[in-house]
Amino acid sequence: MSDFDLVIKNGRVVIPYIGVSEVDIGITNGKITAIESSIASGRAKEEINAAGKAVFPGAVDVHYHIGIYHPIEEDAENETRSSLVGGVTTVVSYFRSGSHYLERTGSYKELFPEVVNRTNGHSYTDFSYHIAIMENSQLDEIEWLVNQGVGSFKYFMFYKGMNLHGNSTDPKAMTMTDEPYDLGHLYKYMKKVKEMQDKYADKGRISLSLHCEHAELLRIFLEEAREKGIDGLQGYHEGRPALTEKLAIVEAGVLAKATGCPINFLHLSSKEAFETADEFRRFNPELDVRTETTLHHLSLTWETSYEPEGKTWGKVNPPIREKIDNDALWTAVQQGRIDQVVSDHACVDEENKGGLWEAYAGFGGTALLYPLMISDGHHKRGMKLEKIAELVAANPAQTVGLYPKKGTIAVGSDADLTIVDLDKEQKVTADILLSGQTFSNFEGYDIKGWPVITIRRGELMYKDGKVIGTTSGEFIKRPIGVHK
Ligand SMILES: [Zn+2]
């Protein structure tokens, strides 16, 4: 009888917070069961020789939108397939009641099981869901949701007067209810999440994530941009300027301080937003505050995002900004002042990416999570490999209550790994990303460093550009301490 199902030999193993070590990894029943300087050949049923390659923990892409513009089953299958390309083995996706998604509101006791059931059997990666509480009656379902495995929640600062695509100011456009969705709601929401965090404090983190853009300021800046007739992504950047992020961060921060609620400032897009969130955290060390940015906010500007004539592929909330913002965000991740990097993956059909004001917000990016961070972070900026693993795997896993089951390489952790050829050069084209999205606004982007094998719970899922695993991803309940 073999000691291991699979052994990965001779790789440079990248362990978050520790460093890079030339060790062999033994895997049994989907878990890492040995990390040794050398595991003799013959002790495993199967062996992978990773000589000359780096072995990273599978990335945990915690900002994701399964089912936002397509049926859940379709998105789950197409987009988690794309995740494997980027070395991602777990996705944590956002869901809310209201427009898009299931196009209805009501009780999460009815909605949530449907979301999980419709993802089950369709996901290549393991998956989990954050939930956004959109109306009063759902506040009473928060503890029920925690017991169903939802350890993180979301609030959108800009929904109280705006729709998703920035072309309507109907306050009900998103929630599909008459109930107020405002700072009053947020205050009650934060108190409830804080209550849950206190109750389950020794079992893991329960938090509230915030999309920070300010509805009332967006209204006037968007109006102005449309009147001026500025087109393309520059128009969107000017219509949703950094000032709106800043004010929303401050407002949310005041309420977090009043309630003690653990919070996450999502997708910081600008120098100004980062500095505001960073200052808030420094001046409130007693609070549990985490920060996030995205691949596109780090490495694209409204000028460099690939946009064919008449298209707005890179339209996203908050918008892609300028070089000064890229530079500030890269410095922040290098200094550890931004905790996590995500894709904010949302698959959009090309026909919904036409003119600026009609186009849907969002685009795919999960397949570039490790590639872009290794290329632009490690090769171009000299960031250490373990730092990259912290930003895309270990830190996000901690934020959402998945660590150390996910996000690291340790005995007892799930055997989620990606083997990366650090020297492989690759120009981005949509077809290699294996997504349902037929275009990429990273088209033509030069990458150095590309995953060659992705392994999820010990199963070989992706190899040399092809998916070889099945849609057997599992729903993971969080925080893991509550759901052992
Ligand atoms: Zn998002």
Phi-psi label, residue 60: left if phi above 0, alpha if psi -120 to 50, beta otherwise? beta
According to the 3-state scheme, what is the secondary structure of 85-148? HCCEEEEEEEEECECCCCCECCCHHHHHHHHHHHHCCCCCCEEEEEEECCCHHHHCCHHHHHHH
Tokens of 25: 């990894």
Q: What is the mean pLDDT of residues 412-441?
A: 98
Which tens digits make up the pLDDT trace of 221-267? 999 999 999 889 999 999 999 999 999 999 999 999 999 999 999 99
Q: What is the mean pLDDT of residues 107-114?
A: 96
- Write down the pLDDT at residue 279: 98
* 356: amino acid identity, one letter: L
**Could you give the 3-state DSSP secondary structure of residue 67?**
coil
Distance (angstroms) between ligand 1 centre and the Cα of 42 equals 46
Distance (angstroms) between ligand 1 centre and the Cα of 339 equals 17
Distance (angstroms) between ligand 1 centre and the Cα of 119 equals 18
- Write down the pLDDT at residue 167: 65
Q: How far apart are CA 255 and CA 440, in angstroms?
A: 38
Distance (angstroms) between ligand 1 centre and the Cα of 418 equals 24
Q: What is the mean pLDDT of residues 474-481?
A: 96
Q: Which helix (H) or strand (E) holds 272?
A: helix 271-283
Residue 246 CA: distances (Å) to CA of 158, 165, 279, 332, 392: 12, 20, 11, 16, 25
Distance (angstroms) between ligand 1 centre and the Cα of 100 equals 13
The pLDDT confidence band at residue 169, using thresholds 50, 70 and 90, is low
Task: Compute the radius of gyration of the chain from its Cα atoms.
Answer: 21
Distance (angstroms) between ligand 1 centre and the Cα of 344 equals 5
Residue 57 CA: distances (Å) to CA of 191, 450, 468: 35, 14, 19
Distance (angstroms) between ligand 1 centre and the Cα of 375 equals 23
- Write down the pLDDT at residue 332: 98
Q: What is the mean pLDDT of residues 443-455?
A: 98
Distance (angstroms) between ligand 1 centre and the Cα of 64 equals 6
Distance (angstroms) between ligand 1 centre and the Cα of 439 equals 19
What are the domain boundaries of the chain?
A: 59-401+422-433
Residue with tokens 């007067």: 161
CATH topology of domain 59-401+422-433: TIM Barrel (3.20.20)
- Write down the pLDDT at residue 142: 97
Contacts of 373 (CB under 8 A, 6+ apart): 295, 341, 383, 388, 391, 392
Which of 83-87, 351-355, 467-471 has the least mean pLDDT?
Answer: 351-355
Distance (angstroms) between ligand 1 centre and the Cα of 174 equals 14
Distance (angstroms) between ligand 1 centre and the Cα of 63 equals 6
Q: Would you call the peptide bond into 71 cis, given omega within 30 degrees of 0 as the criterion?
A: no
Distance (angstroms) between ligand 1 centre and the Cα of 363 equals 10
User: Looking at residue 43, what DSSP letter applies?
Assistant: S
- Of 347 and 160, the structure prediction assigns the larger pLDDT to 347
Chain-centroid distance of CA 477 in Å reads 17
The pLDDT confidence band at residue 410, using thresholds 50, 70 and 90, is very high
- Write down the pLDDT at residue 163: 60
- Write down the pLDDT at residue 161: 59
Which tens digits make up the pLDDT trace of 143-166? 999 999 999 999 998 877 556 666
Which tens digits make up the pLDDT trace of 277-296? 999 999 999 999 999 999 99
- Write down the pLDDT at residue 102: 82
Distance (angstroms) between ligand 1 centre and the Cα of 46 equals 39
pTM summary value: 0.96
Q: What share of the chain is helix, strand, coil (3-state, %, to 5)?
A: 35, 25, 45
Chain-centroid distance of CA 141 in Å reads 24
Distance (angstroms) between ligand 1 centre and the Cα of 68 equals 10
- Write down the pLDDT at residue 168: 66
* pLDDT for residue 39 is more than 90: yes
* pLDDT for residue 366 is more than 90: yes
- Write down the pLDDT at residue 38: 97
Distance (angstroms) between ligand 1 centre and the Cα of 396 equals 15
